[in-house]
Amino acid sequence: MADEMNGVWETCSSASVKRASRRLGQLYEDVLKPTGLRGTQFTLLAQIGMAEAPSLRQLAAALVMDLSALGHTLKPLTRDGLVSLVADASDKRVKRVILTPDGRARLAEAQRHWAVAQRRFEQVLGPDEAKALRQVLAEVSSPDFAARFAAAGREGGEPPAK
Amino acid sequence: MADEMNGVWETCSSASVKRASRRLGQLYEDVLKPTGLRGTQFTLLAQIGMAEAPSLRQLAAALVMDLSALGHTLKPLTRDGLVSLVADASDKRVKRVILTPDGRARLAEAQRHWAVAQRRFEQVLGPDEAKALRQVLAEVSSPDFAARFAAAGREGGEPPAK
DNA sequence: AGTAATTTGTGGTATATGCCACTATCTAAG
DNA sequence: CTTAGATAGTGGCATATACCACAAATTACT
């Protein structure tokens, strides 16, 4: 049994990415710890700050996150007064997310810590490797990749799984 | 604010990996859906099958997962009778995880579905790119990388974060 | 032997994430 | 205008994941 499974273990791209995600999450969060922000929360604040009042759906798409997952993840941040939700004027369905003054301050502080982690990462992996990695990951994360993946299933003469 | 944050958004390696992890998780789990297994559960079963009765700690290390997180994640699988925990004979602290017959059957079935997803992935990204990606991710996930990351923080003349 | 330090797991608590069902709102078809 | 269909979010439930404190067992030191 060991031999046959070896292939799965070594080649599963999803598992590879998940492992790396856990490792990097631990490494980065350790550095972010003094700020009291989790890695995901930092990313969330940064994206909200960059996008300027994005709707929940826009934010979810940018983060490649399920809409409801985003809603849940936002809860602790609104509870702690770092972000707030405001209703859109023209479309009453839409809610936009904005940083509170506290949120901006916390983000600015966290960014200094994040830079430390990022610098270490680049130093250890090498700047070129790091850049190449981000590019490939960006491609994999893109909607276009998902579309091509789905298309490969529909069109490609795939042998049935079962 | 938008400009300054752009750097964070684009260059954060941890965020890049997390985004890709979410995307690939969705893509692979969609294919795995008929088996009733989540992506993590499939990986877990595959690793248990490959390692032959690993201890919880060994399994957690292989998956780059927190020990307690592994314990929690294993709960649904033990509940559904796919794996079981057996006490080690020589060291009473140690518990080993084994696949039940049901677990082996489910793993074998899931592996057929997984192969479909994996084939699509390789086809869309390209075999060479896919292989290179896994190699870099394996390096990032390794204990050695974590050690060098920590060392860069201790030894490297790093400017203070705050 | 006896005690301190280490190692292995467990359980609690909190965040992260996804799917589904449901509500509210908007848009388009007639 | 009215109604059918699409779109944006919410809330419930389940899994994923981490950290901490704690218990049990083992090892190391004296």
**SS3 track for chain A:** CHHHHHHHHHHCHHHHHHHHHHHHHHHHHHHHHHHCCCHHHHHHHHHHHHHCCCEHHHHHHHCCCCHHHHHHHHHHHHHCCCEEEEECCCCCCCEEEEECHHHHHHHHHHHHHHHHHHHHHHHHHCHHHHHHHHHHHHHHHCHHHHHHHHHHHHCCCCCCCC
B62-86 tens-digit pLDDT: 999 999 999 999 999 999 999 999 9
Q: C-alpha dihedral over B91, B92, B93, B94, to 10 degrees?
A: 60
Q: Is the pLDDT of residue B162 over 80?
A: no
Mean pLDDT for B39-61 is 95
* Higher pLDDT among residues A97 and B3, named by residue: A97
Q: Is the pLDDT of residue A3 over 60?
A: no
B38 contact residues in A (CB cutoff 8 A): none
Mean per-residue pLDDT of chain A: 91
Please report which confidence band the pLDDT of residue B3 belongs to, taking 50, 70 and 90 as the band edges. Answer: very low
Q: Return the CATH class of domain B26-142.
A: mainly alpha
A82-137 tens-digit pLDDT: 999 999 999 999 999 999 999 999 999 999 999 999 999 999 999 999 999 999 99
Mean pLDDT for B122-142 is 95
Closest among B35, B99, B93, B19 to A24, alpha carbons compared = B19
- Strand C bases near protein CB (under 7 Å) are 7-21, 24-27
A81-89 contacts: CB < 8 A, separation 24 or more?
Answer: A82/A45, A82/A106, A83/A44, A83/A45, A83/A48, A85/A56, A86/A53, A88/A55
Q: Look at residue B10 in the predicted model and tell me its pLDDT.
A: 72
A138-157 tens-digit pLDDT: 999 999 999 999 998 776 55
Q: Quote the DSSP letter at residue B127.
A: H
- What is the widest separation between alpha-carbon atoms in chain A? 61
Distance, CA of B88 to C1' of C22, in Å: 49
Residue type, B136: V
Q: In angstroms, rounded to a whole number, what is the distance separating the alpha carbons of residues B62 and A62?
A: 31
Please report which confidence band the pLDDT of residue B152 belongs to, taking 50, 70 and 90 as the band edges. Answer: confident
* First-residue to last-residue Cα distance in chain B: 20
CA distances from B70 to B22, B47, B81 (A): 19, 12, 16
Chain A: closest CA distance from residue B80 (Å): 21
Q: In angstroms, rounded to a whole number, what is the distance separating the alpha carbons of residues B30 and B11?
A: 29
Q: Look at residue A158 in the predicted model and tell me its pLDDT.
A: 59
Q: Is the pLDDT of residue B87 over 80?
A: yes
Burial of residue A80 (CB within 10 Å: 0-12, 13-18, 19+) is middle
Q: Look at residue A87 in the predicted model and tell me its pLDDT.
A: 95
Mean per-residue pLDDT of chain B: 91
Q: Is the pLDDT of residue A4 over 80?
A: no
Is A156 in contact with B23 (Cβ distance < 8 A)?
Answer: no
Two tokens at B120?
């699509």
Two tokens at A57?
């759906």
A116 contact residues in B (CB cutoff 8 A): 153, 158-159, 161
Q: Is the pLDDT of residue B158 over 70?
A: no
Q: Look at residue B156 in the predicted model and tell me its pLDDT.
A: 59
- Strand D bases near protein CB (under 7 Å) are 7-21, 24-27
CATH number belonging to the domain at A31-143, selected among 1.10.10.10, 1.10.760.10, 3.40.50.2300, 2.40.50.140: 1.10.10.10
Residues linked to residue B67 through DSSP beta bridges, in sequence order: none
